[in-house]
Chains A and B, each alone.
Chain A
Amino acid sequence: MTAQPLLDVHDLTVEFTTRRGIVKAVQHVNISVAKGETLGIVGESGSGKSVTSYAVMRILDRAGRIAEGSVMFSGIDVKAASENEMRDLRGREISMIFQNPRAALNPIRKVGDQIEDVLRQHVQSAASDRGEKAIEALEQVKIARPRERYHAYPFELSGGMCQRVVIALALACNPQLLIADEPTTGLDVTTQKAVMDLIVELTKRRHMSTILITHDLGLAAAYCDRVVVMEKGRVVETANSADIFAKPEHAYTKKLMRATPRLGVSLRDLLPEEEVLASPRTRGEHRPPSAAVLKERRGEASAMARSAAGERDSPRSGLAEAAPHPDPLRASSARLDPAKGGEREQPLLLVEKLVKEYPRQGASAVLSKLFSRKPPVEAEVFRAVDGISFTVGHGESVGLVGESGCGKSTTSTMVMRLLDQSSGRIVFDGEEIGAILPQAFARLPLRKSIQMVFQDPTDSLNPRFTAARAIADPLLQLGDIRGRDALRARCEELAGLVGLPVNLLDRFPHQLSGGQKARVGIARAIALHPKLVILDEPTAALDVSVQAVVLNLLQDLKASMGMSYLFVSHDLNVVRLLCDRVIVMRAGRIVEQGPSERVLGDPQDAYTKELLTAIPHPPLPVH
């Protein structure tokens, strides 16, 4: 390609002035985008991929500045351009779409007005037909009933719909370059596919260039012509996307690709080679099998024995597949015959016809009922969870998957006894816990047995607690360890179990990395030797390489402590790796459940199939 590139970033260095001196977020980066090309910038958090794009648009915040290098956009020197020239460029020539579409729109302004603001700024139409233009822009991004949606506020639209509005906003003035900064992070896979397909369709039709910034290699591979891999502010590799996945050159690219969950690999394959070799030894070192662990192991073994002996359980064949597997590391595809599987020992967790209903109109409906004579228009209730039944066996890990709003989090919260169910039974370890009110459950000894690891490692830690204090919290509430030294010793033991260096125990959450915070959250959850741990998207906020390590840690802990996992996630690739069995939920109901290999390898339900096909895959596995 000899033609002049549309965008040419040459030797770009961006500096940020912070309290601790100047930080170079991006160093000597070279990127070029040809007309009509789609370029992917891939990297983990802190790699400088977003900063690079902000520098291109010159919307760095006050502390940041372009220190070195040049940014040329179709003959215009972005670094030297005046603020007025830049303003004409932004939105008209270069547009940007962002992560978290709902927050990217002004919450108190109609979406149509927001599109009109951009049209007005860039004098794209006369005042008289601006409204029509805005509606047309909404039509382009395939929003149904655009004339009505014009008057909608962002909070009235779904996340995917908001992202479409953001795209409409970005494309309203027919720019030449679109920068999409993690446009689908936080959206469901099917929505992700719809949004990405839309972006590609619209940009191709207009012969636009696109920069797709993402942490997801699969996404970059599926949609980009060329990929730039960034690490710590530097570009480490640039290649055609077909080539880069076939033969990655740089060690970091290889590591990233290895860590990305995909078909046909085990959890261990995600770790960098040297760590796989090193891990059994190091783990053995800081994990003396405590008496408790040994006891748990015995408990697990006896459970297996009992399971083998067999005992009649619920006759439902759907539940019958819940056989604990003797090999917790990899679920083999050789499964019990459903007919035979009915004869088993009681599962650890049995959920039967669980229902959670919410009044459809919210709390204000009650008040309006008091004062208005008219009967409420819609007396119906909304069923977030609609009569679901499943089991979790001893030592088994079960994945609960589905898109946002399918009721998976509601289900896990009810099992956790943080929320009261409307009807149905929850039997845990032979005890009916569904009847215990959530407030009362917190004080029962049974609370110890069900623990949870939360989605956001940062938000789920008290910012004023040190790591040690956070881990000790359940011990102080429910444990029988008393005395400073004993508590400290237990905290250090737990830190060892989760691979958190002991010298980090006195740090506060903001002084820890994402992966370290995740470890603290896990240590806290296993502090009381729970039998069941509910993992609510525990790795969703982590980078892939950290996710690989944390998933392996979870797998090891499960094996050594004999725990069961209920793993709530929307990431089917992760579920495939960690879970023995999968439950697919949609709109409060279970559409399919069974062994992971079977459900994800040979899905029966149309919805499961749809979910699976929506996942973007890197083209080739790495060797």
Chain B
Amino acid sequence: MLTMIGKRLMFAIPSLIGVVIVTFLLTRALPGDPAAYFAGPAASKEAIEQIRKKLGFDKPLIEQFFRYTNDLAHGDFGNSLTTGQPVATEIRNRLPASAELTLLGLIVSITIAIPLGVLAATRPGSWIDHLCRVTTTAGVSLPVFFTGLVLVYVFYFRLGWSPAPLGRLDVFYSAPPTVTGLYLIDALIAREFETFRSALSQLILPAATLGIFSLAPIARMTRASMLAVLASDFVRTARASGLSPSTVIVTYAFRNAMLPVITTLSMVFSFLLGANVLVEKVFAWPGIGSYAVEALISSDFAPVQGFVLTMAVMYVLLNLFIDILYGVIDPRVRLEG
């Protein structure tokens, strides 16, 4: 098992090197001159040139690249031009916010989508099958900013059940001491239950928004894969052996049906992590997605590079995790590892 993990990590190295090169070149190819942007609209030519020199843009591209990789090797992602903060620090602060939101959103959608898909598959044509179809269609066809705004309108503005959609914590609370960066967990570790409650109430609406959106692929995949497995020979054998319906569905069908669902989950997760900019914007969430978009608009290349690299690493780790999970579920995969 450990050798497999090691091997997989080694396979990830070439793709990470590729990501470093591509993001470097891409950010250099971006339209707009960061030096001009940074110097401000009133700056003279000389001032811009000076800044360019200071940032090292006057050097040949290859030398810039070596400087960049050298910095990377020392854990230095560069500084953001707009905020002046080191990119590494900013990402470290913002990634947990996105991760917490995405994870909770995914948990919400899994707890609804998988039972829904399983029930729909075991009772095709019943009301629950139709419910599954309607929910998934609605979930996927409503854009996240729309569901987000509707939720805010109903639950904050109309009903007043949830707090103002302004970030991760109510202004009266201070963030719990950082352990994992996820406020919910950190608050529990520090036994600050009020903070936990506040963080949770801030999280519920954006997480629900994400959950509704990601419900569709998971529920559909669960249903389709359960239907296929339920029609297979070994389920017939299990039925013919008189096993109880719960054993047949859980032990025989569900575990086999999980494999494609896990793949879908990993895709949805990695997609959401970087792509939930709209949700972060609607809920003023200090996440990594909105950070990257803002940097991109202002030609601030260091945060963009840092963001892409972080996502690549996350993606590699996530895939590794999924592969290990696959091996746990399916012995045939273990053999190939």
Q: Which residues of A contact B (CB under 8 A)?
A: 57, 59, 62, 86-92, 95-96, 98, 100, 103-109, 117-118, 121-122, 153, 155, 166, 169-170, 362, 364, 367-368, 371-372
Complex-state Cα separation, A122 to B247, whole angstroms: 13
Does B239 lie within 8 Å of A59, measured CB to CB? yes
Measured CB to CB, the nearest residue on chain A to B259 is: A108
Out of A95, A105, A153, which one reaches B332, CB within 8 Å? Answer: A153
Which residue of the partner chain, among A88, A96, A117, A362, contacts B240 with CB atoms under 8 Å? A96
A87 touches B7 (CB 8 A): no
Whether A103 contacts B242 by the Cβ 8 Å rule is: no
CA distance A169 to B252 in the complex (A): 15
Query: Given A104-B236, A105-B237, A107-B330, list of 18 further CB < 8 A pairs?
Result: A57-B240, A62-B124, A90-B242, A91-B241, A96-B237, A98-B240, A106-B234, A108-B256, A108-B329, A108-B332, A109-B252, A117-B251, A118-B241, A118-B242, A121-B247, A155-B331, A170-B241, A368-B7
CB-CB under 8 A from A106, the residues of chain B are 234, 237-238, 251-252, 256
For A104, what are the chain B residues with a Cβ–Cβ distance below 8 Å?
Answer: 233-234, 236-237
Please classify how large the interface on chain B is, using the bins under 10, 10 to 19, 20 to 34, 35 or more.
20 to 34
Q: List 19 A–B pairs whose Cβ atoms lie within 8 Å, in order of A's numbering.
A: A57-B240, A59-B236, A90-B239, A90-B240, A90-B241, A91-B242, A92-B242, A98-B233, A98-B237, A103-B233, A105-B237, A106-B256, A108-B330, A108-B332, A109-B252, A121-B242, A121-B247, A153-B331, A169-B241
Asked if B243 is an interface residue, CB under 8 A from chain A, the answer is: yes
B242 CB contact (under 8 Å) in A89, A155, A368: A89
Asked if B191 is an interface residue, CB under 8 A from chain A, the answer is no
Q: How far is the CA of A59 from the CA of B330 in the complex (A)?
A: 28
CA distance A371 to B14 in the complex (A): 14
Interface hits, B217-272 → A, CB 8 Å: 232-234, 236-244, 247, 251-252, 255-256
Of the candidates B10, B124, B241, B336, the one whose C-beta lies within 8 Å of that of A121 is B241
For residue A87, which residue of chain B has the nearest CB?
B242
Q: Which chain A residue has the least Cβ–Cβ distance from B241?
A: A91
CB distance from B270 to the nearest CB of A (A): 25
* Closest B residue, CB atoms, query A88: B242
Residues of B within 8 A of A103 (CB): 232-234
Q: In the assembly, what is the distance between CA of A86 and CA of B243, in Å?
A: 11
- What is the chain B residue whose CB lies nearest that of A57? B240
| 6 closest Cβ pairs, A-B complex | A90-B242, A91-B242, A91-B241, A103-B233, A96-B240, A106-B234
- Kindly state the separation between the CA atoms of A588 and B247 in the bound complex, as whole angstroms: 44
Chain A residues, Cβ within 8 Å of B238 = 106, 117
Contacts of B240 in A (CB 8 A): 57, 59, 90-91, 95-96, 98
| Closest Cβ neighbor of B10 among chain A residues | A371
Min CB distance A178 to B, Å, is 11
Please measure, in the bound complex, the distance between the C-alpha atom of A87 and the C-alpha atom of B252, giving whole angstroms.
16
Q: How many cross-chain pairs have Cβ atoms below 8 Å apart between A and B? A: 87
CB-CB under 8 A from A98, the residues of chain B are 233, 236-237, 240
Contacts of B330 in A (CB 8 A): 107-108
**A169–B330 Cα gap in the complex (Å)?**
21
Nearest CB in chain A: distance from B12 CB, A:
13
Q: What are the interface flags for B114-127 relative to A under an 8 Å C-beta threshold, 1 for contact and 0 otherwise?
A: 00000000001000
Please measure, in the bound complex, the distance between the C-alpha atom of A87 and the C-alpha atom of B331, giving whole angstroms: 29
A117 touches B241 (CB 8 A): yes
Alpha-carbon separation in the docked complex, A529 to B266 (Å): 53
One of B10, B124, B243, B336 near A91 (C-beta < 8 A): B243
Interface centre among B238, B241, B252, B336 (most CB of A within 10 A): B241
Residues on B with beta carbons closer than 8 Å to the beta carbon of A155: 331-332
Kindly state the separation between the CA atoms of A121 and B244 in the bound complex, as whole angstroms. 7
| Bound Cα distance from A107 to B257, whole angstroms | 12
Residue of A nearest to B255 (CB): A108
Q: What residue in chain A is nearest B334 (Cβ atoms)? A: A153
| Complex alpha-carbon distance, A109 and B244, angstroms | 17
Q: Give bound CA distance, A452 to B337, whole Å.
A: 37
Task: Report Cα–Cα, A362/B337, bound state, in Å.
Answer: 11
Query: Looking across the interface, which residue of chain A has its beta carbon closest to that of B333?
Result: A108
Q: Are A107 and B239 in contact, CB atoms less than 8 angstroms apart? A: no
Residues 1-39 of B at the A interface (beta carbon under 8 Å): 3, 7, 10
B-chain residues with CB within 8 Å of residue A87 when the two chains form the complex: 242-244
Residues of chain B lying within 8 A (CB to CB) of residue A57: 240
Given A121-B247, A364-B336, A367-B7, A108-B239 contact (CB < 8 Å) = no
Contact indicator per residue, chain B 312-337, by CB within 8 Å of chain A (1) or not (0): 00000000000000000111100011
Taken together as a complex, chains A and B put the C-alpha atoms of A19 and B238 apart, in Å, by: 28
Hey, which chain B residues are within 8 Å of A169, CB to CB? Answer: 237, 241
> Smallest Cβ distance from B71 to chain A, in angstroms?
29
Chain A, Cβ-Cβ closest to B233: A103
Known pairs A98-B236, A106-B238; A117 contacts B255 (CB<8 A): no
Distance in angstroms between the alpha carbons of A166 and B241 in the assembled complex: 10
A contact residues around B3 at 8 Å (CB): 372
**In the complex, A100→B236 CA distance in Å?**
12
Give the docked Cα–Cα distance between A413 and B336 (Å): 26
Verify A122–B7 contact, CB threshold 8 A. no
Query: Could you tell me if B237 and A117 are in contact, using CB atoms closer than 8 angstroms?
Result: no
What chain B residues lie within 8 Å of A95 (beta carbons)? 240-241
Q: A109 near B251 (CB under 8 angstroms)?
A: yes
**Distance, CA A107 to CA B241, complexed state (A):** 16
- Find A100's partner among B233, B329, B332, B336 (CB 8 Å cutoff): B233
Q: Smallest CB–CB gap between B246 and chain A, Å?
A: 11
Chain A residues with CB under 8 A of B255: 108-109
Bound complex: CA of A105 vs CA of B240, how far in Å?
12
| In contact, B10 and A122 (Cβ under 8 angstroms) | no
Given the complex of chains A and B, what is the CA–CA distance between A368 and B336 in angstroms? 11
The residues of B that contact A96 with a CB separation of less than 8 Å are 237, 240
Closest Cβ neighbor of B237 among chain A residues: A104
Task: Report the bound CA distance from A87 to B247 in whole Å.
Answer: 12
Pick from A59, A89, A106 the residue with the most CB of B within 10 Å. Answer: A106
In the assembled complex, the Cα of A117 lies from the Cα of B239 at a distance in Å of 11
Contacts of A107 in B (CB 8 A): 234, 256, 330, 332
Q: How far is the CA of A92 from the CA of B240 in the complex (A)?
A: 10
Asked whether A122 lies within 8 Å of B233 as measured between CB atoms, the reply is: no
Alpha-carbon gap, A399 to B233, bound state (A): 33
Among B233, B247, B255, chain A packs the most CB atoms within 10 A around the CB of B233
A122 with B332, Cβ < 8 A, contacts A98-B237, A104-B237, A371-B10 known:
no
Residues of A within 8 A of B232 (CB): 103
CB distance from A333 to the nearest CB of B (A): 45
- Residues from chain B with Cβ under 8 Å of A118 in the complex: 241-243
Determine the residue in chain A with the shortest Cβ distance to B243.
A121
B247 in contact with A117 (CB, 8 Å): yes
Chain A residues contacting B329 (CB-CB under 8 Å) are 108
Complexed CA–CA distance, A130 and B256 (Å):
24
Chain B residues closer than 8 Å to A121, beta-carbon distance: 241-244, 247
Nearest-neighbour CB distance to chain B for A517, whole angstroms, equals 23
Q: Which residues of A have CB within 8 Å of B252?
A: 106, 109
Please report the C-alpha to C-alpha distance between residue A509 and residue B177 in the assembled complex, in whole angstroms.
Answer: 67
User: What CA separation (Å) do A59 and B241 show in the bound complex?
Assistant: 10
Contacts of A86 in B (CB 8 A): 242
A109–B238 CA distance with the chains assembled, in angstroms: 12
Contacts of A88 in B (CB 8 A): 242
Nearest B residue (CB) for A153: B331
B244 contact set on A, CB distance < 8 A:
87, 121
Identify which of B237, B243, B330, B336 gathers the most chain A CB atoms within 10 Å of its CB.
Answer: B237
Q: Once the chains are docked, how many angstroms separate the CA of A118 from the CA of B252?
A: 12
CA distance A122 to B244 in the complex (A): 10
Residue of A nearest to B232 (CB): A103
Q: What separation, in Å, do the CA atoms of A91 and B236 have in the docked complex?
A: 12
C-alpha gap A24/B38 in the complex (Å): 80
Chain B's closest residue to A154 (CB) is B234
In angstroms, how far is the closest chain B Cβ from the Cβ of A82?
13
Closest A-chain residue to B252, C-beta based? Answer: A106
- How far does the Cβ of A180 sit from chain B's closest Cβ, in whole Å? 12
Least distance between A219 CB and chain B CB atoms (Å): 21
Query: In the bound complex, what is the Cα–Cα distance between A106 and B230 (angstroms)?
Result: 11
Residues of A within 8 A of B236 (CB): 59, 98, 104
